[in-house]
Amino acid sequence: MDPLTILALGSTALTSIGKLASGFGGSSIAKLQEGIANQNTALLNQKASDEAAEGKLSFDQSALDQSRTMLQVNRTLGAETGSFTARNLDPSYGSPLLLEGFSASQGAMDMALIGAKGEMGNADALLTAAGTRAQAASSAGQAAGFGAQASSDVFTGIVGAGTALLNGLGNPKNGVWSNLTAAAKAIGQGVPGSSMFTWSP
């Protein structure tokens, strides 16, 4: 084989190897990015669960505050009743009744406001969790895209290597294919000096 043919073969082989390396390298990077995106997705899902749990805490705090308010209202009503009784006033009619009614309604309003605050806290926590879940879905989409890119990069590398190999071997300007065919025929026919291997049928 002449030196130009050997150089052309070497160039073709290097180009093919470069295409394969590029494809597999790109695939490795895409798989790494896919792994990172999957980890981000898992973290975002956990964060969303924690944020949703804050809504439950808001309800629990609201219930605790309502029970404390109810206790305070009962103490206030008891103190008012005791005060009226000590002054020999009947708390079941007249001004004492109006005063106790006002205290009870004030307590009921406070409890309603506390309940509304708990509802708002829960709604806010759920809204935040929904936003985080949307980020998690986006991250999962990115992971899927990186997974597809990894497969595509390998395929592109293989096709690129095959194309480079076929272009290098089939190029009529460098005659590599015809030289390889002639060398193969010579080896097959056992022509002396055509190969470093000896062929004996």
Cut 0.85: pTM above it? no
Please list the pLDDT of the chain residue by residue as tens digits (201 residues): 566 666 666 777 778 888 888 888 888 888 899 999 999 999 999 999 999 888 889 889 999 999 999 999 999 988 888 888 888 888 777 788 888 888 889 999 999 999 999 999 999 999 999 999 999 999 999 999 988 888 888 888 888 887 877 776 666 555 555 666 666 666 666 555 544 444 444
Q: Decide if 86 contacts 12 (C-beta within 8 A).
A: no
Whole-number pLDDT of residue 24? 84
Residues 6+ apart with CB under 8 A from 103: 73, 76, 77, 80
Whole-number pLDDT of residue 135? 92
